[in-house]
Amino acid sequence: MRPFEYIRPASVAEAVGVISERGEDAFVLGGGSAAVVMLRLGVVRPELVVDLGGIEEMRGLSRNGGLRIGALVSIRSLELDDGVRGAYPLLAEAASQVANVRVRNVATVGGAVAYGEPQTDTPTALTASGAVVRVAGVSGERSVPISEFYVGPYETVLEQGEIVSGIDVPEEPPHTGGCHVKFTVGSPENKPVANASALVTVDPPSGTCVSARVVMGAAGPVPVVANAAGALVGIEATPERIADVAAEAAEEADPMEDLRGPEWYKRRILRIVVERALTCALQRART
């Protein structure tokens, strides 16, 4: 690995101060599961590595009206936390499907968001959950809806000197069901060929959908919100209507050919994961 300087600031203020001062020379490390590999491969060649791991104020996971996730909360904590599993099962379900347990132990939610990798599960579920990203910079904090956070693959609206300090997720209304479906080839630890998160709220007496959100991952340069899901609002979602929505959603996606398959294949898989996620989310919303 190329040599670099290393610091481990103790506060957000200290971190953003040094990052904005050093500009392009600084590289931010969260849990390190992606960052250390990038350093080793020489994908990044910083003069200074700023390890955020020592910032206590970015560690908390709390529920108070909504879910407040500190950027340093591990993917594994999101997977195992009883409060998250009870009130935000979509997030816990998506987190449990990320890579392997070693990665989930160190990878952070803030890191997964800031990295901007399109082929992963956490941003898909956070987008379906209506999450808001807290961004800290030298002039203070700003909030960006995660649906507006991504610009392209590995590209976000973060400006020079800014870091993700946390993520806020609004409380799910009653009679809401969420479901995350990941499809892989080979081992389940592999990156998804495609994934989908669905979050559906129903009106119990009539059984009609009050809201239906579907987001697709590994489906384009950024998490893709399927507008087709809007067609389910105000109707009783039958399997036929769900199948129609899934077919339309797959057409809205913009998957890229890679080692996990050509574009046409990924579209077929997207149709299937959207159909499964919606069917499962509806079932959970009704029970």
Per CB under 8 A, residues contacting another protein are: 1-6, 8, 29, 32-33, 36-37, 39-40, 49, 51, 53, 76, 99-103, 105-106, 187-189
Evaluated on CA atoms 245, 246, 251, 254, the torsion sign reads positive
Q: Which residues of 105-130 are buried (b: 16+ CB within 10 A; e: fewer)?
A: ebbbbbbbbbbbbbbbbbbbbbbbbb
CB of 252 to another protein, least distance (A): 32
The residue (of 33 and 124) whose beta carbon lies closer to another protein is 33
Residues 38 and 30: their CA atoms lie apart, in Å, by: 13
Task: Return d(Cα 224, Cα 54) in angstroms, integer.
Answer: 33
Structure tokens at 176: 């809401």
How far apart, in whole angstroms, are the C-alpha atoms of residue 254 and residue 59?
35
Contacts of 28 (CB under 8 A, 6+ apart): 15, 19, 35, 50, 52, 114, 163
Residue 12 Cβ vs another protein, minimum distance, rounded to whole Å: 18
Tokens describing residue 133 = 């990203």
* 3-state SS assignment for residue 228: helix
Report the residue number, 8 or 241, with the smaller CB distance to another protein: 8
Cβ neighbourhood burial of 56 (10 Å; 0-12, 13-18, 19+): exposed
188-191: list long-range contacts, CB under 8 Å, 24+ apart. 188/97, 189/99, 189/100, 190/260, 191/99, 191/119, 191/120, 191/218, 191/260
Q: Which of 126, 41, 48 is nearest to 92 (CA)?
A: 126
Other beta carbons within 10 angstroms of residue 202's beta carbon come to: 24
